[in-house]
Chains A and B, each alone.
Chain A
Amino acid sequence: MKQVLDLLRREARLSPREIADRLGISEPAAAAAVRKLEDDGVIVGYQALVRPDKADDGRLTGIIEVKVTPERNRGFDAIARRIYEFPEVKLCYLVSGGYDLLVFVEGDSLRDVADFVAEKLATLEHVTSTTTHFILRKYKESGVKLVDSAAADRLPVSP
């Protein structure tokens, strides 16, 4: 099961047949393992990793550092939920350090993201401050480089 998960973490589109061949297990066993990972909620989705410069759809991501005052008895979860339920929010982590919540907000323009932060995030009751950074270029995401790199030039045959 762990081996199947390790494979899918890197290559989500592998078919049961491919998984079976690589791990030396049967195809039904591979299919069952994938189904179980999905049923148990270990795997919750599959998404394409997209290079923004190539997709060129003008999408923009803002990284927002959010400071909050935690609520009595409810800690950070309630306020986090008030934030992550917005569909504009693509990522939301509770983190240690100089601020509390790290939030990625996606929009069609700088204006979009800035408005969202000013109107929706900063106005929330327990939010004490926000700092916004816009992503200018993505070099790497989920362990995958999002830039061109020269192919290695091995000889086509060698002993």
Chain B
Amino acid sequence: MTEAMSSRARVARVVAGLKPSGIREFFDLVMSMDNLVTLGVGEPDFVTPWTIRESAMFALEHGKTSYTSNWGILELRESIADYVTRRFSVTYDPTCEILPTVGGSQGYDLILRAIIDPGDEVILHTPCYVAYEPMILLAGGVPVAVETSFDEGFRLDPRRLAARVTAKTKAILLNYPSNPTGTTFDRATLQAIADVAQEHDLILLSDEIYAELTYNGAHTSVAALPGARERTVVISGFSKAWAMTGWRIGYLAGPPDLIRAACRIHQYSMLCCPILSQLAALEALRSGGEPMREMVEKYEQRRRVIVTGLNEVGLPCHLPDGAFYAFPSIASTGLTSAQFCRKLLVEERVAIVPGSAFGAGGEGHVRCAYAASFDTIQRALEGIDRLMRRL
């Protein structure tokens, strides 16, 4: 009706053209049900550690309610720089190479808009986090997917990546450990990717928000590799490692020209991150190490339990390297991932997410988030087991 009133479409073409997330209908169905056992949630089941919450209450009591600099609180930037050096061996100048953002989400919104001219291509590996393709499109870019598969453990083959580079390629967007596959990239793979970027003069965007949730050895940041730092922007945040999803606080770290460009957008579109969240993030870096390690230890144990369980009920699953997702194959059932998840939801009241939500290569899999209690994981596995026996 409203559209008919005007000769021009009211909604911009790029927005109208965004594919409705393939699982909107499924999500709606989930939301309409209660008493669910859910492994569908992409956020920690823990609340933010008390020390962090307490510091925010203290800050509020003391009237910390104003804007901050566009760049955020300097002490926070310094603290992030220290942390990144300590954990990932990359050094950044806190005055111009680190920008606090409203979650990792605003981080890639800013950096994509900062680097993309209309028609520029951004290569990404799929299955991937649901927001990447829409964000690239909204920034005027063209997403180019390199599919990874179960058989290769969802690892990215740098040669296949290189084969997708064209004259229009502007950047490569990486995410490791990955949502939804849990796969991370080793140093050799990252070096090969960095070499591709160097050879074709591409920017590397590296979403490392799950870095602390790495279970097999230490996380390697691509920015730490020779020749990579000056072309890499790391996107990260506090949501996952410190269980701070609701605070909406993250950061970008990279070379000054790109971070300044991101801040130029940020100053107009956001002004600054919420001061309370900045102060909470500062406290996370000060005193949140121990509670974070305790949560990571729990995830690691749950990971083993769920992967063992999924394999036992007949859904082949790799042991993920990181994050809190198991991404088993459901190929043997002959169902699409949406059919499988719907059946599981309706018949067993267990919620997991269809792999088709995560782009090319996701079909034939389901995402089970193990950011859930052992009891929830056990009950979900029992539901999956019962369904599998009926199929």
Contacts and interface: CB of A to CB of B under 8 A. Distances in A.
Nearest to A157: B40
Interface residues of B, number: 28
Interface string A10-31: 0000000010011110000000
B157 to A, nearest CB: 26
A21 B307 CA distance: 9
Contacts of B374: 18, 22
B36 A156 contact: yes
B304 A24 contact: yes
Contact of B41 (A18, A21, A154): A154
Contact of A157 (B129, B305, B353): B353
B301 interface: yes
Given A21-B305, A22-B304, A23-B301, A158 B43 contact: yes
B129 A159 contact: yes
Contacts of B33: 156
B305 A155 contact: no
B304 A157 contact: no
A64 B130 CA distance: 60
B163 interface: no
B200 to A, nearest CB: 31
A152 interface: yes
Contacts, number: 51
A28 to B, nearest CB: 16
B30 A157 contact: yes
Contacts of A154: 41, 43, 45
A22 B301 CA distance: 4
Contacts of A159: 21, 42, 129-131, 179, 353, 357
Contacts of A158: 40-43
Contacts of B131: 159
A22 to B, nearest CB: 4
A1 B112 CA distance: 48
B351 interface: yes
A77 B101 CA distance: 60
Interface range for A: 10 to 19
A22 B308 CA distance: 10
Interface string B28-66: 001101001010111101010000000000000000000
A159 B43 CA distance: 9
Given A21-B305, A22-B304, A156 B42 contact: no
Interface in A100-159: 152, 154-159
Contacts of A152: 45, 47
A87 B346 CA distance: 55
Contacts of A156: 30-31, 33, 36, 38, 40-41, 351
B67 interface: no
A159 B131 CA distance: 9
Nearest to B367: A159
Contacts of B45: 152, 154
Contacts of B301: 7, 22-23
A127 B43 CA distance: 56
A155 B43 CA distance: 9
21 contacts: A21-B308, A21-B309, A22-B301, A23-B304, A152-B45, A154-B41, A154-B45, A155-B41, A156-B38, A157-B31, A157-B38, A157-B40, A158-B40, A158-B41, A158-B42, A159-B42, A159-B129, A159-B130, A159-B131, A159-B179, A159-B353
Given A154-B43, A154-B45, 5 more contacts: A22-B305, A22-B374, A156-B33, A158-B40, A159-B129
Interface of A: 7, 18, 21-24, 152, 154-159
